[in-house]
Amino acid sequence: MRACTKLISSTHPTLHFAHPTLESFIWNTLIRAHFQAGSRAELLTHTPLNVFLRMRFHRVKPDFHTFPFLLQSFNSPPHFQSGKQIHAQALLYGLANDPFVQTSLINMYSTCGNLMLARQVFDEISQPDLPSWNSIVNANVKVGLIDVARKVFDEMPERNVISWSCMINGYVSCGEYKEALALFREMQMVEANGVRPNEFTMSSVLSACGRLGALEHGKWIHAYIGKCGMEVGVVLGTSLIEMYAKCGIIERAKWVFDNMGPHNKDVMSWSAMISGLAMYGHAEECLELFTEMTSYGVRPNAVTFLGVLCACVHGGLVSEGKEYFRRMSEEFGITPLIQHYGCMVDLFGRAGLIQEARNLVNSMPMDPDVPVWGALLSGSRMHGDIETCEIALRKLIELDPTNSGAFVLLSNVYAKMGRWADVRHVRDLMEARGIKKVPGCSLVEVGGVLHEFFVGDDSHPETKEIYKMLDEIMKRLKMEGYVGNTNEVLLDLDEEGRELALSLHSEKLAIAFCFLKTSPGTPIRIVKNLRICSDCHVAIKVMSRVFDREIVVRDCNRFHHFKGGLCSCKEYW
DNA sequence: GTAGGGTTAG
């Protein structure tokens, strides 16, 4: 108890004499102090729960102020059992009807993944106030029930910035980026009612722009931030870096990064810039930045190393990658996560060091997951190591029987070797198991409007013109000596049919659309959900030369910057 | 004469 008073008098120097509620005040303050310290460092040996139990041991009655911080302490890491116990305690002391306690309960239950109990608490509130509504919206978001969240959101009697931010962020976190942007537009329409977006909102919206590759939208948001006089702090700065990097304007990302000043950047800002450069294949610059970061005394974390290793992968820097992987744990004390092992397997695989990749997979301390086997598969596929391919495939099917990617890759290997019977077999297997290929999809923004194209898509209003344009482009390419590389087509078609299937790839449709809609010389930016295939890669290279266009394609892996018949990546030839 | 609830990134 002496320690308590000492701690409190250091933060509240005026508290020197007794007060009727002083005792519970001291305990409550102590709970808060432990909660706040716990999230920063493990300096204190006790947890808020621990303090609460001692409080009860001393027969001090908790009051309204006791529970909120106590409940919050079970959010990270989530601790359902303790949370439930404390809920029972709040009921016991007749404090569970307090709106502050109820909101904390909703949050606690939802972060512990128990939506039912969160909902129960909410339903028992006769007149929920704004924070309770926001909490229940967010509770649905957290468990991924975005439609339910939206329904609750629409039912709310009133909404504030937080409600809107929660909902927009919800859409972003479940991958519905276009919905997020739509909701943001809706939000601006009610802006007249006094709801104005803040830093939180902008960060989510920027993230949506980045994922979509919607540069025009992103630029607009950037301008809007300036217009509102919003300060570009660490968080917004980092979001902007990420947005520009993901939209393919690495120079702009660097510009934002440099303008943040060396002392306003945290690990995340550095990491965002590092992974941005990595995605772009600028390996040397990326590694330099890492060195610069450490020279400013910013400690890299696991995410930073993910970016660094990723740079080594795209730059084909095997020995550097090995060195960073070693330093990561030895010098910085960071235990490699499964993603880091995935990077290393990818690094070895691409370099053709299949045996080394296999050794790593077999010796890693955790069970290899889908991305790890996937990296081994694509590496061995790249170098025609059928045996390793088959091993990886078997594991992939074991882990995720609905994963179409593995089947597609393996069938591509067979196709490359002309083993059409095996291709057929894989395809039958997929059919028998009801596995659908994830359809290729390309996104492009023209004049601030997003257009989406699927493989062989004919749903676009201007589909006729698009196909006509595509036809012309392909004719011109053929005149230039381009021959469709049909090795990667899954279907067992004759040569002409296969070539046709290739020409319908979504990125080609998107490019045809851009040729139709943009003036000559305008750079074309496309975002693709899958990896770009080698045929498209060749075709786009030729296009960039013949039509003198800069074409930037972001696939699920990295950027491909086509210019004058060349690509920035070293993955295809 | 003190204290409590709702949103962030990879």
Q: pLDDT tens per residue, chain A (573 residues)?
A: 445 555 554 554 444 444 556 788 999 999 998 888 875 555 556 789 999 999 999 999 999 999 999 999 999 889 999 999 999 999 999 999 999 999 999 999 999 999 999 999 999 999 999 999 999 999 999 999 999 999 999 999 999 999 999 999 999 999 999 999 999 999 998 876 788 999 999 999 999 999 999 999 999 999 999 998 898 999 999 999 999 999 999 999 999 999 998 778 999 999 999 999 999 989 999 999 999 999 999 999 999 999 999 999 988 999 999 999 999 999 999 999 999 999 999 999 999 999 999 999 999 999 999 889 989 988 988 888 889 988 998 898 888 877 777 777 777 777 777 888 888 888 888 888 887 777 889 999 998 899 999 988 888 999 999 999 999 999 998 998 888 776 555 555 566 666 667 778 899 999 999 999 999 989 999 999 888 888 888 899 999 999 999 999 999 888 999 999 999 887 655
Q: Is the CB of A343 less than 7 A from some atom of nucleic acid strand B?
A: no
Residue A267 Cβ under 7 A from any strand B atom = yes
Question: Distance between CA atoms of A91 and A470, rounded to whole angstroms?
Answer: 68
Å between CA of A174 and C1' of B9: 14
Chain centre to alpha carbon of residue A10: 42
Please report, rounded to whole angstroms, the spatial distance between the CA atom of protein residue A129 and the C1' atom of nucleotide B3. Answer: 21
pLDDT at A13: 45
Instruction: Flag residues 126-145 of A with CB < 7 Å from strand B.
Output: 129-132, 134-135, 138
Q: What kind and span of H or E run contains A219?
A: helix A215-227
CA of A239 to C1' of B9 (A): 7
Helix (H) or strand (E) holding A501: helix A495-503
Q: Specify the pLDDT at position A1.
A: 45
Contact flag, residue A157 CB and nucleic strand B, below 7 A = no
- A17 CB below 7 A from strand B atoms: yes
CA angle A296, A299, A303 (to 5 degrees): 125
Q: Which nucleotide is nearest to A32 (CA to C1')?
A: B3
- Three-class secondary structure of residue A214 per DSSP: coil
pLDDT for A226 equals 92
- Greatest Cα pair distance, chain A, in angstroms, is 93
Secondary structure letter of residue A45 according to DSSP: S
Does residue A16 approach strand B to less than 7 Å at its CB?
Answer: yes
CB under 8 A, 24+ apart: contacts of A29-36: A30/A4, A31/A55, A31/A66, A31/A69, A31/A70, A31/A73, A32/A69, A33/A7, A34/A73, A35/A69, A35/A70, A35/A72, A35/A73
Question: What are the residue boundaries of the structural domains of chain A, listed by start?
Answer: 19-158, 170-247, 442-567
| Residues of chain A (162-181) having a beta carbon less than 7 angstroms from strand B | 162-163, 165-166, 169, 173
CB of A32 lies under 7 Å from some atom of strand B: yes
Statement: the CB of A275 is under 7 Å from strand B: yes
Distance CA A63, CA A67 (A): 8
Cβ contacts of A422 within 8 Å, gap of 6 or more:
A411, A414
Q: Which residues contact A514 (CB under 8 A, 6 or more apart)?
A: A444, A446, A522, A524, A526
Residues 364-383 of A with CB under 7 A from strand B: none
**Helix, strand, coil in percent for chain A, rounding step 5:** 65, 5, 30
CA atoms of A49 and A189, how far apart (whole Å): 45
Per DSSP bridges, beta strands A441-446 and A566-567 are unpaired
Span CA (A63) to C1' (B1), Å: 19
Identify nearest nucleotide to residue A269 by CA to C1′ distance.
B9
Q: Does residue A73 approach strand B to less than 7 Å at its CB?
A: no
Residue A546 CB closer than 7 angstroms to strand B? no
- What is the CA A436 to C1' B1 distance in angstroms? 68
In this complex, the answer to whether residue A147 has its CB under 7 A from any atom of chain B, a nucleic strand, is no
CA distance A281 to A290: 15
Which tokens belong to A24? 């519970």
Residue A486: what pLDDT?
63
User: Residue with CA nearest B5 C1'?
Assistant: A100
- Protein CA at A94 to nucleotide C1' at B1, angstroms: 27
Q: Is the CB of A386 under 7 A from strand B?
A: no
Nucleotides of B under 7 A from a protein CB: 1-10
Q: Is the CB of A203 under 7 A from strand B?
A: yes
DSSP β-ladder status, A524-528 and A551-554: parallel
Q: Which residues of A spanning 90-109 put their CB closer than 7 angstroms to strand B? A: 95, 98-104, 107
